[in-house]
Amino acid sequence: MNIAIYQVNMGRDHNRVAFQSLDEMERFHGSSEIESEIYDKVFEGEVNCENLEDVYRKFNIDHPDGYKGRSLSVSDVVEVIGEDGESTFSYCDSFGFKKVDFDPYLTEELKESKIKVVSV
């Protein structure tokens, strides 16, 4: 299964939608429309998974090499890239996943944060 995972960048999340279900976004913000521009791509690659539930388990228990994000959670978006090159996007909701409109071209690559050590 070829996938990409997108997670809300907390620094760009001005409406505080990270970790909210689609129902909560609708209730608190008046819309469940996904703001693609507040997301970072944290993973892209082939995984040994059969479905989105397998992806959820893998990215909570057994992070693959190269994974830069936090454990998969509510508000994350999983892109499944089909053999024909067509993608579907699914929102990790409170229970399961829901297909959503999402524009990966508005996202950013996750920039790894570096810890600066100052010696006195």
Q: Domain ranges for the chain, please list them.
A: 2-109
Residue-wise pLDDT tens digits, 39-89:
999 999 999 999 999 999 999 988 888 788 999 999 999 999 998 989 999
Look up tokens 């010696």; give the residue: 119
Cβ–Cβ under 8 Å, residues 76 and 41 = no
Cβ–Cβ under 8 Å, residues 31 and 25 = yes
The model's pTM is 0.88
Cβ–Cβ under 8 Å, residues 88 and 80 = yes
Q: Which amino acid is at 24?
A: E
Residue-wise pLDDT tens digits, 37-49:
999 999 999 999 9
